[in-house]
Amino acid sequence: QKINRHPLVYFDNAATTQKPRPVLEAIQRYYEHDNANVHRGIHELSNRATAAYEGARERVAQFINAPSTKDIIFTRGTTEAINLVAATWGAANLREGDVILLTELEHHSNLVPWQLLAQRTGAALRFIPVTGDEGTLDLSDLDALFRDVKLLSITHISNALGTINPVAELCAKARAVGAVTLVDAAQSAGHLPLDVQAIGCDFLSFSGHKLCGPTGIGALYARTALQEAMPPYQGGGEMIATVTFQSSEYHVPPHKFEAGTPNIAGAVGLHAALDYLDDLGRENIHAHDTELASYAKDRLAEFDGIRIFGPAGDRGGLVSFVFENVHALDLATMADQQGVAIRIGHHCTQPLHDKLGVPATARASFYFYNTRAEVDRFIEVLQKGMKLLS
Ligand code: PMP
């Protein structure tokens, strides 16, 4: 479509992606033919809805190579998944003197839940530092960083800088000191092949809407052995085995963590999205996105007075930058007038931006449907804008 009389260039994929037609059709087909509530029913439509919902769970398990379907808890997205771990595993296992190890790159959704938990339990937060504008992790003193750590919770790919973190190495180090691990895969699940067993994490979370699926659905991988010992998250229907007026016995994992009617249509849409991505091939998506990001970075480097963030080498499919003389808001507004959608702000990583000494950055983030020609158009729009604004 055209936006402000110009062909749309959608470079806000780190915030959310567009939805392919097969995803929309799967959701519509479900509502037109199979809509009913899950699990409790004994009629045909309920059986179909249950099969669709549980089929989506199986597909998620396969997508991230989880050992068992039971390891998959459906959530509203990454944010709810992390809050679930904090409220259940965290509340049951952390106490004063324990350390929660994060990185300085974390999205607020992998920071604020731990702040809340730290306030409640007396646990302390510690951060793996990033090295300047490149935004890679400083891992020079791992032993000191991991002292007294009970939980390591880190992003796989930074939504602000595009840094790809060495999650498998860090999870191995965490395991060696007996710590539990969580990987925030919001920016990686739809962009590269993911294997929770190869990463060696205990928990991993992602959001459907960032990988061509609908909003309001995501998944938490949680090793079943850990789920057994975790108290429930929310109470209600679906999560119980038996209930008396005074107390309840809970359903087996993962249902114990899914109170109430779930987002069945969302799970159906997510299933279709995962099929779509695997038809394209996640290796291909990764190669395309990183190539586009590095092309965009090279083209941006043509500008005077620009500061480009993120690693010099491999990066996720995005590039963040600021101009010395032009405010990011003016830049994004001007780009929108020319049909180019980019995002500006702290991208839910305010402490990281404080450390970088900038209140906001502009971010262009890519997906498999973006092209080099669109990057060229983006650069052209910036060139015009810089003439006007600086
Ligand atoms: N973590 C990262 C790295 C993200 O990029 C995002 C979304 N911007 C989130 C967590 C939160 O995801 P959601 O809003 O879908 O819960």
The predicted-structure confidence for 37-56, as pLDDT tens digits, reads as follows 998 778 999 999 999 999 99
Q: Are 4 and 337 in contact (CB under 8 A)?
A: yes
Confidence (pLDDT) at 59: 98
Number of C-beta neighbours around residue 89 at 10 A: 22
261 CA to centre of ligand 1 in angstroms: 24
Number of C-beta neighbours around residue 211 at 10 A: 27
Q: Give the C-alpha separation, 372 to 364, whole Å.
A: 13
Report the run of H or E that residue 302 belongs to, with start and end: none
Based on the residue annotation, tell me whether 348 is a catalytic residue of this protein: yes
Pocket (CB within 6 angstroms of ligand 1): 14, 77-79, 107, 109-110, 155, 159, 184, 186-187, 207, 348
Q: Are 360 and 353 in contact (CB under 8 A)?
A: yes
From 159, 167, 191, 205, the mutation candidate for ligand 1 (largest count of ligand atoms within 8 A of CB) is: 159
Report the run of H or E that residue 49 belongs to, with start and end: helix 44-63
| Phi then psi dihedrals of residue 137, to 5 deg | -80, 140
Which structure tokens are listed for 1? 């479509």
Number of C-beta neighbours around residue 103 at 10 A: 26
Q: Give the C-alpha separation, 18 to 374, whole Å.
A: 16
Confidence (pLDDT) at 265: 98
312 CA to centre of ligand 1 in angstroms: 24
293 CA to centre of ligand 1 in angstroms: 20
Classify residue 196 by burial, with Cβ atoms within 10 Å: 0-12, 13-18, 19+. Answer: buried
Task: Report the candidate in 214, 287, 224, 225 with the shortest Cα–Cα distance to residue 56.
Answer: 214
Tell me which residues of the chain have a pLDDT lower than 70. Answer: none
Which DSSP state fits 330? H
Task: Report the candidate in 277, 258, 289 with the shortest Cα–Cα distance to residue 62.
Answer: 277
DSSP letters for 355-367? HHT-S-EEEEE--
14 CA to centre of ligand 1 in angstroms: 8
| pTM of the predicted structure, to 2 decimals | 0.97
Confidence (pLDDT) at 389: 82
Confidence (pLDDT) at 32: 98
Q: Are 105 and 161 in contact (CB under 8 A)?
A: yes
Which structure tokens are listed for 335? 């780009």
Q: Give the C-alpha separation, 169 to 176, whole Å.
A: 11
Q: Are 148 and 97 in contact (CB under 8 A)?
A: yes
Number of C-beta neighbours around residue 92 at 10 A: 11
Instruction: Name 206's Cβ contacts closer than 8 Å, sequence gap at least 6.
Output: 78, 81, 185, 186, 188, 189, 190, 218, 219
* Protein residue with least CA distance to atom 12, ligand 1: 78
109 CA to centre of ligand 1 in angstroms: 7
Q: Residues 194-240: pLDDT tens digits?
A: 999 999 999 999 999 999 999 999 999 999 999 999 999 999 999 99
Q: Are 125 and 114 in contact (CB under 8 A)?
A: yes
Confidence (pLDDT) at 313: 87
* Protein residue with least CA distance to atom 5, ligand 1: 159
DSSP letters for 51-84? HHHHHHHHHHHHHTT-S-GGGEEEESSHHHHHHH
Q: Which residue has the tokens 């309001």?
A: 216
Q: Are 171 and 146 in contact (CB under 8 A)?
A: no
